[in-house]
Structure 1
Amino acid sequence: MKISSVLTKNLNRIIHFLSLANAEDVDIICFPEMALTGYNIELLQSQELNERVNQLLGQIIDKCREYGIVCIIGHPYKEENKLFNRASVILPTGKILHYDKQYPTEIEKRIFSSGNDILVFEHDQKRFGVVICRDQNYYEIFKKYKDNDCDGVFILAAHFYNPKEARWKIDKNRAIPIARAVENQYYVFLANAVGPHLKMISLGHSLIVDGDGCVVCEADEASECLLSIEL
């Protein structure tokens, strides 16, 4: 998914993909890191951040109820004067669970606090975990999900770099999800942003990997698309 600093553009894209997922009988859909708001600096510094985010999430919750779908969506959120890079898991009932990024990048540490716990959720008799972007580098998080009998882990990513760095990091950011899948013998689902944002670029390559390390399906580096698999 392409990410914008304009919230209505992001919401419209999310609603569009929810509609596509519903048409394909998808049960769980995962969007990239910060997909709901982008890295909108003005919004991140706003006292109205949570109010704006909750308004947008409310419309997504309505669609999740209508379609009977689980949606995993990335966004910022403030709690106790701390700002978190968060993934909300919206269940078909409207209930929301959340996971906060545990390992922000050095730049992110200037504004985001670190989360400190994993999140396991269940749907249709299967168990799943959630991590955000740089968390993929830390094997111990994925081992905890293995110990919790998870069938797969979703990675919300937004690999924004300058163009040259984005190019040479493609292989690294493909290899790590594959390694995590093989190490733990479960599925790994990587949802990455595509396109430019804040004078940087993310070169996609969202993918789904099975427990044998087979890349079952993969996106290209520029197109918005919906990858899906039947477990």
Structure 2
Amino acid sequence: MTMTVACAQTVAIARDITGNVQRHLQMMQLAAEQGVQFLLFPELSLTGYELDAASDLALGTDDPLLEPLRTLARQQAMYSVVGAPVRVPGSGHVLLAALIFRPDGSVGLYSKQHLHPGEDLVFSPGSGGDLLPLGGQRLALAICADAMQPGHPAHAARLGADIYAAGMLISHRGIVAESQQMAGYAVEHQMMVMLANHGGETGGWQAAGQSAIWARDGALICKADGAGECLVVARQDGAGAWEGTVIGQ
């Protein structure tokens, strides 16, 4: 069975959800032209990593601002996972989350379980989320610090995940070590691993880009060449072989 997945490496417009939605739509359309079935955006991609504004920017899963993303994901029959602060209905809690726009038009949620220092002043710890069915395989999500806890991908593997997909914010200082860690998970757990990183400055951090996808044996399928916006695509043929390409760099 053929499969195509991709990481969207984006540069967020600080605190501008409307502007970022338009950029996401452009990236989703580009992914659809490549036949992508699952598209992953970085952590807090819809707002940027703006912790001091996260509470004010927090969305509900049914917010009208999200409707164009939900509609395009349905029209293109493509999972699109985008990062955003999400307010828990009926409470003052805000989650650092990933919104899952499904091919059937529904919207799901993954919430970050392991918060970095400083994030815990704004966000409540999340509870993760369910595996996603994708072309006969199962996909587990992660957000940044989740993926740096070895127990997190190990738990996903025990649940039967075939793909581990993490939306990240990684600086130039951390990209080499954290990429090696992610590649190690692929080998250890026999899972494809996806890393979608920001492509530029956000929230005072200089993100390194270098979004990447690794095969189950840890072999690098494709990787962005540094920062900037691009689409990192991995495509599997009928014989199970993978090939990768980077679009936009």
TM-score (norm: length of structure 2)? 0.84
In structure 2, list runs of 5 or more residues that go unmatched.
1-9, 237-249
1:58 corresponds, among 64, 67, 70, to 67
CA gap 1:153/1:57 in 2 versus in 1, 3 angstroms? same
- Give deviations 1:14-51, integer Å, cap 9, x for gaps: 001111011111111011010112234565232x7325
Contact 1:118 1:141 in 2 (8 A): no
CA gap 1:151/1:51 in 2 versus in 1, 3 angstroms? closer
Task: Please say which of residues 81-90 and 113-122 is displaced more in the overlay.
Answer: 113-122
Contact 2:42 2:168 in 1 (8 A): yes
CA gap 1:212/1:199 in 2 versus in 1, 3 angstroms? same
2:38 partner letter? I
2:135 equivalent to 1:135 = no
2:93 corresponds, among 78, 82, 88, to 82
* Correspondences of 1:39-188 after superposition (within 5 Å): 39-40=49-50, 43-46=53-56, 49-50=58-59, 54-79=63-88, 80-159=91-170, 166-188=171-193
1:143 partner letter? A
Measure the CA separation in 2 of the matches of 1:201 and 1:187: 27
CA gap 1:137/1:42 in 2 versus in 1, 3 angstroms? closer
CA gap 1:42/1:108 in 2 versus in 1, 3 angstroms? closer
2:42 equivalent to 1:32 = yes
TM-score (norm: length of structure 1)? 0.90
How much is the aligned-residue C-alpha RMSD, in angstroms?
1.8
Measure the CA separation in 1 of the matches of 2:148 and 2:59: 29
1:20 corresponds, among 27, 30, 41, to 30
Structure 2 partner of 1:209: 214
2:67 partner letter? G
Structure 2 partner of 1:162: none
- Give deviations 1:138-180, integer Å, cap 9, x for gaps: 1222122112221101100122xxxxxx333121121111011
Structure 1 partner of 2:13: 4
Structure 2 partner of 1:163: none
Structure 1 partner of 2:4: none
1:173 partner letter? E
Identity of aligned residues (%): 25
Helix, strand or coil at the partner of 2:160: coil
Contact 2:142 2:167 in 1 (8 A): yes
1:53 Cα deviation from its structure 2 partner: 7.7
CA gap 1:42/1:199 in 2 versus in 1, 3 angstroms? closer
1:224 corresponds, among 220, 226, 229, to 229
CA gap 1:185/1:8 in 2 versus in 1, 3 angstroms? same
Greater RCO, 1 or 2 (C-alpha within 8 Å, sep 6+): 2
Measure the CA separation in 1 of the matches of 2:73 and 2:30: 13
Helix, strand or coil at the partner of 1:50: coil
1:24 partner letter? Q
Higher helix share: 1
1:50 partner letter? L
Measure the CA separation in 1 of the matches of 2:51 and 2:148: 26
Measure the CA separation in 2 of the matches of 1:45 and 1:142: 29
CA gap 1:110/1:220 in 2 versus in 1, 3 angstroms? same
Helix, strand or coil at the partner of 1:227: strand
1:118 Cα deviation from its structure 2 partner: 4.0
